[in-house]
Amino acid sequence: MPLRLVCFVLLAAIAPTQASTVLVLGDSLSAGYGLKEGESWVRLIAGRLETHQPPGRLVNASISGDTTAHGLTRIDQALASHRPDVVIIELGGNDGLQGKPLGAIEKNLSALVQRSQKAGAKVLLTGIRIPPNYGPRYTEGFHGLYAKLAQRYQAANVPFLLDGVGGKPELMQADGIHPNEKAQERIAENVWPHLEPLLGGH
């Protein structure tokens, strides 16, 4: 075998796997509402990415108050700017709290997933639950959207972002909607097992 070819094969064998860029497109639950810098679950995930092999980086494009419609107005620019390998879509909670039609929420989430996948990114949808203000039919229908869309588009899915947190006053801020700093590690634990398999090196 020619020496040059041998060198090429060896270099290919030891070349590091490309690191992953993770984009979080979310609302206040990801933007760190009511928390100090560095306390949010997103920042905790970023810390895990930094020590992952190969190391990854996280871009947090979350804005408090955002709905799925808001996400659609800015996802294309975020995808073009950061070229993520993975997109975590944490949107829909504000739509549900406002009682927006389930069909509209599904349409918007579908578009967010499709645009992310078209850009070459893997998608992780984070399911959320809302208070039963609009009745069980709406509440369960809303929560079921995430698993349904994950299956439709072969995307990863966190069944319930606030599992082990929601409904526990000691883990919530005074408004009863936003998790406090004590809850953030649990939320990160809910996300990481679904995110890690999507990263480079796996």
pLDDT tens digits, one per residue of 89-140: 999 999 999 999 999 999 999 999 999 999 999 999 999 999 999 999 999 9
Identify the CATH number of the domain in which residue 41 sits: 3.40.50.1110
pLDDT tens digits, one per residue of 133-188: 999 999 999 999 999 999 999 999 999 999 999 989 999 999 999 999 999 999 99
Whole-model pTM: value is 0.90
Q: Where are the alpha helices (DSSP H) in 17-101?
A: 28-31, 41-51, 68-82, 93-97
Question: What local confidence, expressed as pLDDT, does residue 201 receive?
Answer: 60
Residue 85 a catalytic site member: no
Active-site residue (options: 30, 82, 85, 178): 178
Residue 14 lies in a domain: no
- Domain encompassing residue 29: 20-198
Residue 2 lies in a domain: no
Partners of 124 in beta bridges: 88, 156
Residue 20 a catalytic site member: no
| Total tally of structural domains belonging to the chain | 1
Rounded distance, CA 50 to CA 150, Å? 27
Active-site residue (options: 28, 30, 40, 62): 28
Residue 142 lies in a domain: yes
Residue 28 a catalytic site member: yes
Residue 185 lies in a domain: yes
